Each structure stands twice: as C-alpha cells, then as structure tokens.
Amino acid sequence: MRTNRFYIIVVALVILSYLATAFVDNQYYFFAGFAILQLMVMALAWNILGGYAGYINFGSAAFFGLGAYSAIAVLELFGASLFTQIILGGCFAGVVGFATGYLTLRLRGVYFAIATLALLVVSETLIVNWDYVGGAAGAYVLPKRNPTVLGMLIVGKKDALFGNYKELLFFLMCIITLATIVICRFVEKSKLGRGLEALRDNEEAAESMGVPTLRLKLIATTLSASIMGVTGGIFPTYLTFVDPIAAFNLEISVNALAMPLIGGTATWLGPVLGAIALGTLQQVITVTISSSVNLLIVGLFLVAFVIFAPNGFLGLIEKFRKRGD
C-alpha cells in the first residue's frame, strides 16, 4: 500500500511540475528551481556510494563535468538532440565510474577519497587541453529552434508544450529528480541496498559472510556516476556556455557531499531535505548578497551539523520524536 502511495505521489509531482510551467509566469522560479533540483540529484547520486556504501567521493564534479562535455562532444559530432545529450552524458560518466570502481577496488577510506579527487583533477586537465570541445576557453551551446519529437512541437511561442527552454529544462530536471528518488528508494529496499549497508558497516565481515563486496562497489560507483552524468548532460543547454571551471568546479563536489551529510545519509529522504534547505538558502543568498559566499555557508552548515547533529536533519527529527514519546 505504501509503495502504491509513493508512486501515486511521484506521478502527481510530474503533473504538477508540468502545470507549473503552464501557469507560472516568472521565469526566475524555473531558473532557481532547476539549480536546486540539480543539487538534489547530485546529492542523491553521491549518497548511493557515500551514504549507503560508506565510500566518500570527492570527485562528484568529475562525473558531472564529463557528462556535460560528453553532451558538448556529441552535439559537435552529429548535432545530437537534447535528449540524446542527456542519455549519452549519463552513459559515458557511467563507463568512467565503472572504470574508477574497477581501478580502485582495493582502496578504502581516505585512499579512495583521494583517488576520486585525483580523477577530478585529471578530468579537468584533459578537457582544458581538448580544443574540439572548446578547451580552456569554453564552448557555447545554442539550443535548437522549434525542436520537435514525433512531429510534436516541444518549445515554441504557439501550439507547443513549453513556451521556452527554461520551462522545458525545469520539467526535465523534475523528471530526472523523481526518477533518481525512485532509483535510490529501490536500491535502499533491495538486496543491493542491504549489501551496501553491510559494506559500510564492516567490509571484512561482509566478505567473510559471502557478500560480493567488489561487485557491489562496482555497481554503486557505476550507478552513482551515471546519475551525475545525466545531470551534467543537461547542464550545457541550461547555461548555454560551459567552460572547465564551471563544469568541474569543486563547489559541485562539496555540495554533493554536504547535502546528504546535513540531511542524513541513512535514507533517500536525507539528501532531499539537505538539498532543499541548502539549495534554497544558496539561491536566496545569490540574489540578496553574492554567490561567492555560498561555499562559506555550506561549510558553516557542514561544521555545525557534524558537531551538533552528526546524523543530519533525519537524526534530529528522530531525536525529537523519541523525546515526544
């Protein structure tokens, strides 16, 4: 019954997100909403490996950036559509994630974290020196005019599903976010999730009990990287200009790590709460003060929660609930 209710809510949110594009006139809400949802997807993807399996990943921006530049590459190669860019961005990032998991099978703890950070540096360096996708100067991505799918006009002033690209991108990011939540919930409740939990609690004990820890690590890194790549694949069309500094920004990795820790890593709801709280705060600060202090705010929140609420928002809610009982 709970499962049916969950999927009903997901479908309802898809419908509401489309209705919002039809009835909300202020385009800033779509721009800001896209940014918050993007952070939410990154946080959920990070939590698959960092929260469920306990492997801290400092290289989230690498998979995000590779997804973004995969989209730019296929656009340059054969003028791929936005949907193709998103899919191929996820596929390429997933392949890199699989390779990362395979090459770091025996690394644990801080050594794995350093390896993922090294991947970020190497990836950015390669893109900076690849002139085909713009190199250090960056690349412009101009959305196609009047795109169609199966003869149906997607974006246009009249008789189209969306009035402009901001509305389309917001709706697509809503779908990506909800799909990611469904995936994370499935992982959490499946044998895979229980295996990752065993991996996090005590990897040696899990191996001795027959848990295929190496296979689980490969699945987790591939799945996490693929989702990050999908998020990166839509990024160039959102900004219309991408350079390596923006695509491989360390702030992306920090946000992806901080939001699950602040919300709580035990379940998919934690990254969602953390992203809503921090993402909304960052958007408000960007408008009222400056985006340059966003990282400072994230750092202060992260330190405060590590000291006073190590289990995040979910831990606080559980503590207050027990006091109430």
Per-residue pLDDT of the chain (325 residues; tens, 9 = 90+): 667 888 999 999 999 999 999 888 888 999 999 999 999 999 999 999 999 988 989 999 999 999 999 999 999 998 888 999 999 999 999 999 999 988 887 788 788 889 999 999 999 999 999 999 999 998 999 888 878 777 788 888 777 888 889 999 999 999 999 999 999 999 998 999 899 998 888 888 888 888 888 899 999 999 999 999 999 999 999 999 999 999 999 899 999 999 999 998 878 999 999 999 999 988 888 888 877 788 788 888 888 887 887 888 888 877 777 776 6
In angstroms, how far is CA 150 from the centroid of its own chain? 29
Which tokens sit at 1? 């019954």
Contacts of 296 (CB under 8 A, 6+ apart): none
pLDDT of residue 67: 96
pLDDT of residue 58: 92
pLDDT of residue 316: 81
Q: Which of 66, 271, 32, 237 is nearest to 155 (CA)?
A: 237
pLDDT of residue 121: 94
Count CB-CB contacts under 10 A for residue 103. 11
The sign of the torsion formed by the CA atoms of 273, 278, 279, 281 equals: positive
SS3 readout for 178-197 = HHHHHHHHHHHHCHHHHHHH
All domains of the chain, ordered by start, with CATH?
Answer: 2-249 (1.10.3470)
Contacts of 300 (CB under 8 A, 6+ apart): none
Roughly what angle, to the nearest 10 degrees, separates helices 294-308 and 269-288? Answer: 140
DSSP string, 277-302: HHHHHHHHHHHHT-GGGHHHHHHHHH
pLDDT of residue 299: 84
pLDDT of residue 177: 97
What's 3's DSSP letter?
Answer: H
